[in-house]
Amino acid sequence: MANAVSGVAVSEECVKVFQELRAGRAHRFVVYKMDDAVQQVVVEKVGGRDAGFDDLAAALPADDCRYAVYDLDFAVADATAAGAGEAPRSKIFFISWSPATAEVKSKMIYASSNEGFKKELDGVQIDVQATDPSELTLDILKDLAT
């Protein structure tokens, strides 16, 4: 489906792999990029359930934009549990990665396609925009999730 603003399409694989992450919990993260012709968003890398946040961070290039989704598992205090137990939770983050060193054209294409692409990924819960590794840490995601 083409994004009306930027004209960039979203490959069917993007939605399929996201649904595997969301519903099937088959992946920890997915990194998406524009194809070489800048015609559609495609899957670049998929991290298995055993992958960690550091694996996602390593998959994001220092000099180009990307989209990513990350499934964060965490625990919160559960007042309904017998005793002082913790209840497991999960949140799916949509990450817009746009480093300062990326080309201006790339930043513009990713920014103009952002909302349209995000709408294709039904089930994203929290949106994060980062331009530097210091803006995208596991602690920041945990703070946003709770």
pLDDT in tens, 6-60: 568 899 999 999 999 999 899 999 999 999 888 899 999 999 999 999 999 999 9
Does residue 2 register a pLDDT over 70?
Answer: no
Residue found under tokens 């012709």: 37
CA dihedral 72, 86, 23, 5 (to 10 degrees): -40
Which two structure tokens, joined as six digits, stand for 20? 């595997």
The answer to whether the beta carbons of residues 69 and 95 sit under 8 Å apart is yes
Alpha carbons 77 and 93: distance in angstroms, whole number: 21
51-92 pLDDT, tens per residue? 999 999 999 999 999 999 999 988 777 656 555 667 788 999
CA distances from 27 to 21, 46, 77, 90 (A): 5, 7, 26, 13
| Whole-structure pTM value | 0.88
